[in-house]
């Protein structure tokens, strides 16, 4: 049996970014830079490299900058040409190339009712196909197969809803959806339960579901029920959980460097790590970091 490949990916991007206020007051958190590229661009690049053909961005108010970023800017192109800065045009061309390789559509989540609700908002565009979900906060860089492609390949093998999982320290399990498993084969775990943000002493394991999913249509049927869960929000994890037993759900221990940019410390860490990997920046950063460590400035 060959399963149809996964062609569509949902990017929930309607969050208010309260952890990053005030910078997110008038700017979507998805547009915060990781070095010199907006965070969401890393996810879009991963989606394309994984064979995705259509991206559905679920946005809310104040997210215009995301639309503009993936649109062509003729004004900026002309400006650069006129000012003799044609050498920079290839950077715009690279972003333009991404959106040329995709159909990007936008749907509005009119009220912030949780991740599950955001995903559900895209249901009419998903049209009953298995589809991917990428949380832009979770940046995963892989030298070989992109993380989402690893999930899509596992979906091809198992026909299951697939979660990207990784072991996290016990002290951090309450930040994630945590899975319970029954046996695993080649890094693919059979999922028997999943709990959103359990307390450390009540977590079924230390395997966290991070921000990549391939969902079977049955998950949308469960989201249709609109039942609120943890934090009184409609949780994606709860909908996936309710499909267990009726449809296969597996977790893939993915390979790649994972950056959680959804908190200020995580975001700063990601910026530093990525800058250190960039030739031309690394050389400046190393002495700066040494200097900082020696001076160890006091907080103001």
| Contacting residues toward ligand G1P, per CB under 6 A | 115, 135, 138, 176-177, 196, 208-211, 237, 262
Q: Among residues 17 and 211, whose Cβ is nearest to ligand G1P?
A: 211
CB of 292 to ligand G1P, least distance (A): 29
Cα dihedral sign, 271-273-279-280: positive
Total count of residues recorded for the chain: 300
Q: Among residues 95 and 136, whose Cβ is nearest to ligand G1P?
A: 136
Q: Among residues 27 and 174, whose Cβ is nearest to ligand G1P?
A: 174
CB of 164 to ligand G1P, least distance (A): 9
Q: Among residues 123 and 212, whose Cβ is nearest to ligand G1P?
A: 212
Nearest residue (beta carbon) to ligand G1P: 177
Q: Among residues 216 and 240, whose Cβ is nearest to ligand G1P?
A: 240
Q: Among residues 188 and 234, whose Cβ is nearest to ligand G1P?
A: 234
Cα dihedral sign, 127-128-131-137: positive
CB of 272 to ligand G1P, least distance (A): 20
CB of 114 to ligand G1P, least distance (A): 8
CB of 12 to ligand G1P, least distance (A): 9
Q: What is the Cα–Cα distance from 52 to 105, expressed in whole angstroms?
A: 13
CB of 51 to ligand G1P, least distance (A): 23
CB of 92 to ligand G1P, least distance (A): 31
251 burial (CB, 10 Å; 0-12 / 13-18 / 19+) is buried
Structure tokens, 31: 């547009």
Q: Among residues 29 and 155, whose Cβ is nearest to ligand G1P?
A: 29
């Amino acid at each position: 049996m060959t399963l149809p490949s996964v062609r569509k990916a949902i990017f929930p991007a309607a969050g208010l970014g309260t952890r990053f206020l005030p910078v997110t007051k008038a700017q979507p958190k998805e547009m915060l830079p990781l070095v010199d590229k907006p965070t969401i661009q890393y996810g879009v690049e991963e989606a394309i490299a994984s064979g995705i053909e259509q991206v559905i961005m679920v946005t809310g108010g104040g997210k215009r900058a995301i639309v503009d970023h993936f649109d062509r800017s003729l004004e900026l192109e002309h400006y650069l040409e006129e000012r003799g800065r044609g050498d920079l045009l290839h950077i715009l061309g690279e972003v333009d190339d991404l959106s040329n390789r995709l159909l990007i559509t936008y749907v509005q989540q009119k009220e912030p009712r949780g991740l599950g609700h955001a995903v559900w908002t895209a249901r009419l565009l998903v049209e009953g196909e298995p589809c991917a979900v990428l949380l832009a906060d979770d940046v995963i860089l892989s030298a070989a197969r992109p993380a989402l492609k690893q999930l899509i390949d596992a979906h091809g093998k198992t026909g299951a809803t697939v979660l990207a999982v990784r072991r996290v320290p016990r002290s951090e399990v309450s930040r994630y959806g945590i899975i319970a498993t029954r046996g695993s084969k080649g890094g693919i775990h059979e999922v028997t339960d999943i709990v959103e943000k359990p307390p450390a002493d009540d977590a079924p394991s230390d395997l966290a579901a991070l921000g990549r999913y391939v969902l079977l249509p049955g998950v949308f049927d469960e989201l249709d029920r609109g039942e609120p869960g943890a934090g009184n929000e409609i949780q994606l994890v709860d909908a996936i959980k309710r499909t267990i037993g009726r449809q296969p759900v597996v977790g893939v221990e993915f390979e790649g460097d994972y950056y959680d940019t959804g908190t200020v410390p995580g975001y700063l860490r990601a910026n530093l790590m990525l800058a250190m990997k960039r030739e031309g920046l690394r050389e400046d950063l190393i002495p700066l970091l040494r200097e900082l460590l020696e001076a160890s400035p006091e907080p103001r």
